[in-house]
A and B are shown apart, each in its own frame.
Chain A
Amino acid sequence: MKVKKYSTASTILTIAFALVCVLWILPIVEVIINSLKTNDAINTSVFALPNSNTFVGLSNYVKGLSFGNYPFLKSAFYSVFISVVSTVLILLCCSMAAWYIARVDSAFARFFYYLCLFSMIVPFQMVMFTLTSTADNLKLNTPWTIPVIYLGFGAGLAIFMFVGFVKGMPLAIEEAAAIDGCGPVRTFFNVVIPMLKPTMISVGILELMWVWNDYLLPYLVLDITKYRTIPIHVQYLKGSYGTVDLGATMAVIMMAILPIIIVYLFCQKYIIKGVAAGAVKG
């Protein structure tokens, strides 16, 4: 046994990291534990494990579904709808625009591209009040139309990332398609999009994470008595502090983060790559 793969120092490091990792997921474990306890037990000892007196099974989850004067599943539906439609819209429209910008390269295309770069350094607070009133005036203040706002405000980063990729794509393939009599629309959908796939995945994950977790934009734009997304729903639970049902709240939080964690565990490779690709955003 002369060839040892790991040294003793590495074993110690592994153990140390394992401990830190346990500490790292503790906040989430804490939510799981408390979602299974009675309210009194949460109030008196947050960190205790549930025992036979304080364990309530899944009853907090049942309560959580209708807790906060708003059904959880309704807010989950709006969150899913808005995130998916916005992301698909951003991917489709921005990749088209990016192809146009990269290949046509007219004065207008350049102007639009520089505007996109500029929009990346503008924080949301700069436009939030005026964007809200614009959305109200144009009747874009429902979950069915809010993707248009997301497309408008999120276009900058997506176009920037797509243009960067399209410029590196060999022109010869598109030329070959054109010579064979393929029009621009067919070229785009049958030739360009397959080549754009890796960038599509990165941008898609980035936009999906942004829209899914976004609180302020939907809060300001939507009529929140009627439409709430999950972040708005959670913030409203906290708003009614004092009378709050902590057990049910923990159950709601668990239901809000569990799907994300499951999706993450299955496609973490893409997610880490996609989120890290957004590091360019200033």
Chain B
Amino acid sequence: MRKKKPDGSAVNSQLIRRPIQRWFPLFILPVFICFCIGFVWPFLQGIYLSFCTFNIPKDATWVGLQNYAKVFQDPSFSHAFWNTAAFAVVSIILINVFAFFVAYALTQKMRGSNLFRTVFFMPNLIGGVVLGYIWSMIFDGILRRYGTYLTANATYGFWGLVILVAWQQIGYMMIIYIAGLQAVPSDMLEAAKIDGATGSQTLFKVIIPNVMPSITICTFLTLTNSFKLFDQNLALTGGLPQVVDKAAKMKVNMTELLALNIYSTYNINKNWHGVAQAKAVIFFILVAVLALSQQYATRKKEVQQ
């Protein structure tokens, strides 16, 4: 776990501090300028533009909260939100249960566990777009036998995405769990063995409480990953199938998650640019809250130990 270390000695060291400070334009200025171009300015402008209608940022006109009102009337946004939430719940359970048990099995005495680890981790290295393409071919191949195809039905698209993301992320979470499991003190396991604990007792009473920090990390990682998922969603179904919401007279992409919804809103036409930016701000707040509650949860765990 991360811990703050005292750095008072650095401040006091005139031998080091002053000379470095003189090289300010070399050491920190270039990064700071790039950081402003690549993050600070777009971020601030993004917040401002969420209160405007605009085609390009230069011709923005202030409209107040109008964009946000439109976001909440947009059926595609709430659909994408619930879709994302359902997707997050399913993938958190699926990925963490599988990853934990794979990690548990691989940390036992077993032949070829290094090879298995290598294989399970491999899908992580392949980009989301390529993964989406590979899996859409496989799903279409399976569904063709039943005379249908992947984007025919939102249920296929949803579970297809779950399978794809599970395949990609189980290996990653497995690595974190393996690190956690290897850190369980061996004297504790020995003590449990001497006391005659059964395998499942050791697992639930000794091992799982000890790897709680890893479980917290992985749960939040899968949660934020699900919320930020974009490439896989775009490449697998692109949000299809599309249906028309009769009440609001708007098209709703049935397998769209939040990130893709923001992107496709922007691409409707220029009247929607401001609305897409307002959605992006809401999306940012959501992701930020998730990230901060992760920090809170891990801190709390550290205090308890």
Contact = CB atoms under 8 A, between A and B. Distances in A.
- The interface size bin for chain A is 35 or more
A257 B7 CA distance: 44
A17 B112 contact: yes
B21 to A, nearest CB: 5
B31 A93 contact: yes
B11 interface: yes
A25 B116 CA distance: 11
Task: Label chain B's interface by main secondary structure.
Answer: helix
A28 B27 CA distance: 44
B134 A27 contact: yes
Nearest to A175: B15
B20 A104 contact: yes
Nearest to A179: B15
Given A175-B16, A184-B20, A122 B130 contact: no
Contacts of B112: 14, 17-18
A120 B175 CA distance: 22
A73 interface: no
Interface of B: 2, 5, 7, 9-11, 13, 15-17, 19-24, 26-28, 30-32, 34-43, 45-46, 49, 56-57, 105-106, 108-112, 115-130, 132-138, 140-141, 144, 167, 172, 175-176, 179, 217, 220-221, 224, 227-228, 230-231, 234-235, 259, 262-263, 266, 273, 276-277, 280-281, 283-284, 287-288, 290-292, 294-295
Interface of A: 5-7, 10-11, 13-14, 17-18, 21, 24-25, 27-28, 30-31, 34, 46-47, 93-94, 96-97, 99-106, 109, 112, 115-116, 119-131, 133-134, 138, 140, 148-156, 159, 164, 167-168, 171, 174-175, 178-179, 183-185, 188, 209, 212-216, 230-231, 234-235, 237-238, 246, 249-250, 253, 256-257, 260-261, 264-265, 268, 271-272, 275-276, 279-280, 282
